[in-house]
Structure 1
Amino acid sequence: MNLKSLEKLIAVMPEGEGKKQLYAKLHAYKKKVNEKPDGLHDEFHMKPEGHIQIEAINSEGEVVGVLADQKNLVVDGSEEILLRAFSGDPARILYKNRVPKNGISHTYHAPLNEILSVENEKNIITHHPNELWKVVNDDDFEIEYAYYPNTLYVKEEVSTEPNLKAFSIHSEQNTNTAPLTAEIYSTFSNLFIGLGDGENYAINLNDDRLQYEGFSGDGVKQASEVNSLLSFKEKISNFVVEYNEHNKGGKLGVHIDGVLVDTIDTYNSELQDEEVLKKSKRFNVQDHQTETEVDLEFTGLNDELSVGNLQIAGIKFDAFSKDMNGLIHEFENHTNKFHTPTAYNTTSVAPYTIKLEHAPAKKETIKVTYNEIELEEVEQLDQVIEGKYYVDYYHGLIYFNRAMTGLMVSFETTGQIMEHKKATNLDAKDAFVTITDETPIGDVDGSNKVFNLVHGDVTEVSKVLLNGAEVPAGTSAGQYRLNISNGTVTFNTAPDEGSEIKVDYIFKKQVLAFTAEYKIDENKEVILFDQNFKELTKGGDTNAFVNDGVFVIDTTDNTNKTILIAQKDDVGEQIRDLELFYYSDEKPGVPTNYTRQVVLKPKEVNQYPWYALDKGSIQFVAEFAEDVPNSSITVREMGLFDGPRMDDQIKGFPGYPVKAFSLVRVGEARKDTATGLRVTWTITLTNENGEPFKGGL
Structure 2
Amino acid sequence: MNVKSLKKLISLLPDGAKKNMLLRKLEALQAKQSDGLSDEFSLKPTGHIKIEAIDEDGNVVGVLADQPNLVVNGAEEILLRAFSGDPERMLFKNRIPKGGSTGVYHVQLNKIIDVVNGQNVVVHHPNELWKVVNDEDFDIDYSYYPITVYVKEEVSKEPGMKAFSITTTPGPNTAPLTSEVYSTYTNLFIGIGDGKNYAVPLDDSRLTFSSGFTGDATRKETTTLNDEVTFTEKMSHFVVEYMKHNKGGQLEIYVDGVLNQTIETYDSSLADGVEVPAFVEISVDPTKETAVRLKFSGADPSVTNPKIVLTGIRFDAFSKNMNGLISEIPTFVTKFDTPEVYNTTTVAPYTIQLKHYPVIADSVSIEYEGNAMQRVTDMNDVAEGKFFVDEMTGKVYFNRALTGLFVTYEITGEIHEDEIATSLTTVQVEVPVNESLTPDGSNKVFTLSHNNLVAGSVTVKLNDVELSMPADYTVNHSTGTITFTTAPASDSTLVVDYKYKENALKYELQKPIKDSFVRLFDQNKNELTLIEDTAGFDEANFLIDENDVNRKTLIIHPKTLGGNAITRLDVYYKSDAQPGIPTNYKRQVILKPKTENEYPWFELDKGSVQFVAEFKEGIPNYNVTIREMGLFDGPRVDDQVTGYKGYPVKAFSLVRVGETRKEVSTGIRVTWTITLLNENGQPFKGGF
Q: Same fold (TM over 0.5)?
A: yes
**Paired residue secondary structure (1:458):** coil
CA distance in 2, matches of 1:327, 1:590: 21
Cα RMSD of the aligned pairs, angstroms, is: 2.4
Change (3 A) 1:93 1:8: same
Q: Which amino acid aligns with 1:583?
A: K
Residues 284, 607 of structure 1: alpha-carbon distance in 2 compared, 3 angstrom cutoff: farther
Go from structure 1 to structure 2 and tell me whether the alpha carbon gap of 1:438 and 1:28 turns closer, same or farther (over 3 Å shift).
Answer: farther
- Kindly state the Cα deviation for residue 274 of structure 1 after the two structures are TM-superposed: 4.9
Distance 1:487 1:8, change over 3 A: same
Which residue of structure 2 lines up, in the alignment, with residue 450 of structure 1?
445
- The one-letter code matched in structure 1 to 2:519 is I
Q: Which residue of 2 aligns with 1:501?
A: 494
Q: Match for residue 536 of structure 1?
A: 528
Answer yes or no: is 1:58 the counterpart of 2:55: yes
Return closer, same or farther for 1:607/1:430 CA change in 2, 3 Å cut-off: farther
- Change in CA separation of 1:636 and 1:47 when aligned onto 2, cut-off 3 Å: same
Matched, 1:235 2:234: yes
Residue 129 (1) aligns with residue 100 (2) = no
Alpha-carbon offset, residue 310 of structure 1? 2.2
Query: What does 1:94-173 align with in structure 2 at a 5 Å threshold?
Result: 94-173=91-170
Deviation by residue 1:400-430 (Cα, 9 ceiling, x = unmatched): 1111111111111111111111111111000
Q: CA deviation at 1:497?
A: 4.2
Residue type of the alignment partner of 1:162 = P
Greater mean alpha carbon deviation, residues 266-275 or residues 600-609: 600-609
Please tell me the residue identity of whatever aligns with 1:581. Answer: Y
- 1:467-497 Cα offsets, whole Å, 9 max, x none, are 44333222x6xx2222222221122333344
Structure 1 distance, partners of 2:92, 2:545, is 44
Greater mean deviation of Cα atoms: 604-613 or 221-230: 604-613
Over 3 Å counting, the alpha-carbon distance change for 1:586 and 1:21 in structure 2 is same
Paired with 1:606 and 1:616, the residues of 2 have a C-alpha distance of 18
Q: Which residue does 2:682 correspond to in 1?
A: 691
Residues 29 and 44 of structure 1 are in contact (CA less than 8 Å); yes or no, is this contact kept in structure 2? no
CA distance in 1 between partners of 2:210 and 2:687 (Å): 53
**Residue pair 1:608, 1:619 contacting (<8 A) in 2 also:** no
- In the alignment, is residue 578 of structure 1 matched against residue 569 of structure 2? yes
Q: TM-score, normalised by structure 1?
A: 0.93
**Is the 8 Å Cα contact of residues 608 and 621 (structure 1) preserved in structure 2?**
no
Distance in 1 (alpha carbons) for counterparts of 2:586 and 2:293: 39
Deviations 1:169-197 (A, max 9, x none): 11121111111110000001000000001
Counterpart in the other structure of 1:459:
454
Q: Does the 8 A contact of 1:466 with 1:499 survive in 2? A: yes
Superposition deviation, residue 253 in structure 1: 1.1
The separation in 1 between residues aligned to 2:96 and 2:156, in whole angstroms, is 23
User: What is the one-letter code of the residue matched to 2:451?
Assistant: G
CA distance in 2, matches of 1:65, 1:142: 28
Specify the alignment match of 1:39 in structure 2: none
For residues 468 and 205 of structure 1, the distance between their equivalents in structure 2, rounded to whole angstroms, comes to: 68
Correspondences of 1:510-659 after superposition (within 5 Å): 510-521=503-514, 523-545=515-537, 547-605=538-596, 610-659=601-650
> Could you say what secondary structure the match of 1:95 adopts?
strand
Task: Count the aligned residue pairs.
Answer: 681
Which string of whole-angstrom CA distances, capped at 9 and with x for unpartnered residues, describes residues 555-588 of structure 1?
1223211100001122112111111111111111
Q: Which runs of 5+ in 1 are unaligned?
A: 35-41
Equivalent residue for 1:254?
253
Aligned positions of 1:326-337 closer than 5 A? 326-337=324-335
2:10–2:22 contact (8 Å) kept in structure 1: no
1:9 and 2:9 are equivalent in the alignment = yes
2:389 alignment counterpart: 391
CA shift at 1:64, angstroms?
1.4
Specify the SS of the correspondent of 1:361: coil
Query: 1: distance between equivalents of 2:6 and 2:293?
Result: 40
Deviation at 1:435, TM superposition (A): 1.2
After TM superposition, the structure 1 stretch with the greater mean CA deviation from structure 2, 487-496 or 622-631, is 487-496
State the Cα distance separating 1:12 from its structure 2 match: 4.2
Aligned to 1:83, what secondary structure does the other structure show? helix
> Does the Cα contact within 8 Å between 1:10 and 1:22 map onto a contact in 2?
no
> Identity of aligned pairs, percent?
52
Q: TM-score, normalised by structure 2?
A: 0.94
8 Å CA contact 2:72–2:651 kept in 1: the answer is no
Q: Are residues 143 and 30 of structure 1, via their aligned partners in 2, closer, same or farther at CA, if it must alter by over 3 Å?
A: farther
Q: Which residue of 2 aligns with 1:37?
A: none
Distance 1:496 1:327, change over 3 A: same
The Cα of 1:604 is off from its aligned counterpart by: 2.9
Deviations 1:132-174 (A, max 9, x none): 0011111111111000011111111111111110111111211
Deviates more, 1:21-30 or 1:1-10: 21-30
Distance 1:305 1:279 in 2: 20
2:464 aligned with 1:473, yes or no?
no
Match of 1:78 in 2: 75
* Unaligned stretches of 5+ residues in structure 2: none
1:476-487 aligned at under 5 Å gives the runs 479-487=472-480
- Deviation, 1:609, is 5.9
* Secondary structure of the structure 1 residue equivalent to 2:99: coil
Go from structure 1 to structure 2 and tell me whether the alpha carbon gap of 1:498 and 1:18 turns closer, same or farther (over 3 Å shift): closer
CA offset at residue 216 of structure 1? 2.5
Does the aligned pair in 2 maintain the 1:55–1:678 contact within 8 Å? Answer: yes
Q: 1:311 to 1:696 in 2, by over 3 A?
A: closer
